[in-house]
A = this chain, B = another copy of it.
Amino acid sequence: MLGRKKIEWVSNYMPLLNYIQETYKGVFDGVKIAMGIHLEAKTAYLAITLKKLGAKVFVTGCNPLSTQDDVAEALEEFGIIVHAKRTNDEGVYFKNLNKILDYEPDLILDDGADLSVIVHTKRKELLKNLKGISEETTTGVRRLKNLEENKLLSVPAIAVNNAKMKHLFDNRYGTGQSTWDSIMRNTNILIAGKNIVVAGYGWCGRGIALRAKALGANVIITEVDPIKALEALMDGYRVMKMSEAAKIADIIVTSTGMKDVVKFEDILAMKDGIILANAGHFNVEIPVKEIEKHADKIFDARNNVKGYVINGKKVFVIGEGRLVNLAAADGHPIEIMDISFALQTLSLIYLKENYEKLENKVYDYPESLDIKVASLKLKSLGIDIDKLSEEQKEYLKGF
């Protein structure tokens, strides 16, 4: 019942999915869709939407810790097949992924590309029936592109992450808000006046940095890209190497998509009581395993916060170094996911209708669909904008 209530709540703030449910009825009749998602109320409402459009829907997680079990339960009441459980056991996690794939999906809606990579490596027999993949994240797109470069990609894939309405919104406004929502609720510490280190100044990183600054923090950026480093500097942040930043940090948030962004030797240089959180897709950015190995004491410090004593100093890690807004909170704000999921749904419709014409490569998100989602969102907000006149369009062509 609690899961169902959560789903009802989000349906209040998802005007685009509600619109799509009305407008595209029957579009997926007979289509089998496998979803690998952070299973909570918003993704549940996406699954329900796909079902209402006619699809047979099979749902699993895309991260061991991000499944909310009450929501998973509620979803089954809607006639959706679910294999997902919040767990620390990666074996269980992958077993569930495989169970979903057993249904031989026509389309995969992926988040991080775990389903897609399994299909292309360990379970190639499933490629026969598969028509296309729609992938949500930066990390997943990178993995699919690597498959493509290695000539392994066997179906067309759409990089939903590359939609402007995705990476400009989800990664920036979504991650920005939800990362701090999670850190604040899990620690109750003051952000104002703190030295906060954000590793990575991509779209996620700048969202995280912007909100940290807005909450009164003194933000320090680490980067490997000199252009992004300069942008950070001119946005008013300090820019340093991690080995320097670690010494003065009160909180470190990683958001790079890269492994070992914080090194164990950085941990040793940190202040007593340092708080570490990761906002990147995989739990490889903070060296949690090494911390565990070297800790003199490990204890539950608070819900979702683990404490370690190393060389007499306390180190706190939120959500086990998994992406902090999902592993230790409710993920992105509802309206952000409404936009992303409208993109996803239109992407799946596009794949279903065009897969025969498409090559086996990673496609950028179709621009016309991107603009369509933006226009729908503006309409749902009652906002009217200017349009170019014919004369103005003509002017654009001049030289």
Question: Which A residues are closer than 8 A to B by beta carbons?
Answer: 5-6, 8-10, 12-13, 41, 113, 117, 142-144, 146-147, 150, 164-165, 168-169, 173-174, 177, 181, 184-185, 188-193, 211, 213-218, 222-224, 226-227, 229-231, 233-242, 258-260, 273, 284, 300-302, 305, 314, 329-331, 333-336, 370-371, 374-375, 377-378, 381, 383-389, 391-392, 395-399
Contacts and interface: CB of A to CB of B under 8 A. Distances in A.
Most chain-B CB neighbours within 10 Å: which of A217, A237, A378?
A378
Contact of A169 (B169, B230, B240, B396): B230
B226 A238 contact: no
7 A-B pairs with least C-beta separation: A214-B214, A190-B333, A226-B374, A146-B399, A143-B399, A192-B234, A190-B335
A5 B371 contact: no
A222 to B, nearest CB: 6
Given A215-B214, A374-B227, A374-B229, A258 B6 contact: no
B189 A216 contact: no
Nearest to A9: B302
Nearest to A242: B386
12 contacts: A5-B302, A41-B188, A150-B399, A184-B184, A192-B234, A193-B234, A227-B371, A229-B385, A230-B374, A239-B385, A241-B385, A258-B395
Given A9-B302, A223-B386, A387-B224, A177 B184 contact: yes
A144 B192 CA distance: 32
Nearest to A144: B399
A181 B334 CA distance: 16
Contact of A383 (B185, B192, B239, B377): B239
A184 B334 CA distance: 11
A192 B181 CA distance: 13
A342 to B, nearest CB: 12
B336 A190 contact: yes
Contacts of A191: 177, 333
Contacts of A385: 222-224, 226, 229, 239-241
A220 to B, nearest CB: 10
B230 A330 contact: no
A273 B13 contact: yes
Nearest to A183: B181
B211 A215 contact: yes
Nearest to A214: B214
B173 A381 contact: no
A226 B146 contact: no
Contacts of A389: 260
A388 B215 contact: no
A371 B146 CA distance: 24
A304 to B, nearest CB: 12
